[in-house]
Amino acid sequence: MTVHKIGIIGLGKITEDQHLPVIAANPAFDLVAVSSQRGIKVDGARTFRAPADMYEAMPELDVVAVCTPPQVRHAIAREALAAGKHVLLEKPPAATISELDDLAAFAAAQGRVLFTTWHSQYNAAVAHARDLLAHHSVKRLAITWKEDVRRWHPGQKWIWTAGGFGVFDPGINALSILTEIMPTPVFVRSAELTFPENCDAPIAASLAFATNGPHDSLTAEFDWRQTGPQTWDIVIETDEGTELRLANGGARLEVNGELDVERKPAEYEDIYHRFAQLLRDNRSLVDSAPLRLVADSFLIGRRLTTEPFHE
C-alpha cells in the first residue's frame, strides 16, 4: 500500500476535531507537516508558517489538506497544485464558482488529484435516502437547518465577512445532501437573505427551489439564531406519499415514521478512505453543485437587514 505523506494547511477547529485524529488512524496517510500562521505544533509533524516553506523543506510531501476559511482557499490550493501536490479541499471548496473551475482545470493540467469534500454526504442514511428516491419524484421537501452560531462558531470573525458564507457555512451542508439525494437537478427559484446590519454575511436565509418536474413545495430555512435544541432535518414526501425524514444532519433516516438507518457519524473517516482511493486511481472528484446553489441564492436573493450581531 502506498503511504501518502500529507501536510495540513490551517490548524483551526475542524483540523483539531477531525483531520488530525482521522489521519492518525488511517494507514494510507502519514502526517509529516503542518502549515500554521500561528505556528501551532502537532506531535510527529514539522510546523511551517507558510505552505511555500513547507514545500521547499519537504519535497517528499505529496498531499495537502486545505482547512482554512474559504476566502483564501483558491490561492493556497493553486500554490499546492503548482508545487505538484494532490489537494483535498475542506468545504466550501472555494469562495466562488470561477475559482473552483480554475482549480479543477489546473489540477487536470498538472496531473494532480483534486478532491472537494462535502462531509455531510458521507453518511449511510444519506446514501440510503438517495437510493430510495432514485426512482421517485419528490412532491414536497423541507430543509430546516437552525443552530446557535455562538455555540458552533465562537470567535470565527471570517464567517461574518464577505465570502465567509454566514449561515450558508452550515447551510451548504444541507445543500450538499440535497444535491446528493435528489433524483433530478434542483434550481434556486427565490431566496431571502437576512444580514445583521453590521455584517457582510447573512445570519438567516429562506430558499425556495424548483425542479423540471411537478412538485408542491421545495424549501430551505437556515437560521443561526436558534438557542436550545438544534435542528438539522430534511423532510421529503414522494409522489407516492412516502415520507422520508433525514435527521441529525444526515445521520438518521426514518421512513414513514419508522427508523430505517442510524449510524454513528464517520464522515471524515469515509472522506479519507475515499481520498486514498482517488489517489490510487489518480482521479479527481470535483463537485460544485452545492456551491452553485449558494451562489445562485446570492445572485437572485432579496436582501433583508436585521439587528446587529455581537458575539
Residue among 138 and 251 whose Cβ is closer to ligand NAP: 251
Question: Of the candidates 67, 207, 291, 293, which one interacts with ligand NAP according to CB under 6 A?
Answer: 67
Exposed / middle / buried, residue 297 (Cβ in 10 Å: 0-12, 13-18, 19+): buried
Q: 223-255 b/e with 16+ CB inside 10 Å = b?
A: bbbbeeeebbbbebbbeeeeebbbbebbbbbbb
Q: Which stretch binds ligand NAP (CB under 6 A): 21-29, 35-43, 124-132, 237-245?
A: 35-43
Stretch of 64-72, 255-263, 273-281, 299-307 lying at the interface with ligand NAP (CB under 6 A):
64-72
- Rounded to the nearest angstrom, the gap between the alpha carbon of residue 227 and the centroid of all alpha carbons in its chain is 23
Strand pairing class (29-35; 4-9): parallel
Counting contacts by CB under 6 A, is residue 37 touching ligand NAP? yes
Cell match 501536490: residue? 85
For residue 50, state whether it binds ligand NAP (rule: CB under 6 A): no
Does residue 70 belong to the site contacting ligand NAP (CB under 6 A)? Answer: yes
| Selection from 207, 203, 201, 169 nearest residue 92 by Cα | 169
- Identity of the residue, 63 or 67, whose beta carbon is nearer to ligand NAP in the bound complex: 67
Using rule CB under 6 A, residue 266 touches ligand NAP: no
- Nearest CA-CA partner of 273 in 11, 9, 35, 26: 26
Residue 23 phi/psi, 5-degree rounding, is: -65, -40
Q: How many residues bind ligand NAP (CB under 6 A)?
A: 20
90 binding ligand NAP? (CB under 6 A): yes
For the annotated catalytic residues, the residue numbers are: 91
91 binds ligand NAP, rule: CB under 6 A: yes
Q: How far is the CB of 65 from ligand NAP (least distance, A)?
A: 10
Interacting positions 122-141 with ligand NAP (CB under 6 A) = none
Kindly indicate which of the ranges 10-18, 187-195, 216-224, 292-300 contains the residues binding ligand NAP, using the contact rule CB under 6 A: 10-18
As a three-state string, the secondary structure of 186-244 is CEEEEEEEEEECCCCCCCEEEEEEECCCCCCEEEEEEECECCCCCEEEEEEEECCCCEE
Q: Which is nearer to ligand NAP, 110 or 176 (CB)?
A: 176
AA identity, residue 120? S
Cβ closer to ligand NAP: 66 or 246? 66
Residues lying near ligand NAP in the complex (CB under 6 A) are found at 10-15, 36-38, 40, 67-70, 72, 90-91, 119, 156, 169
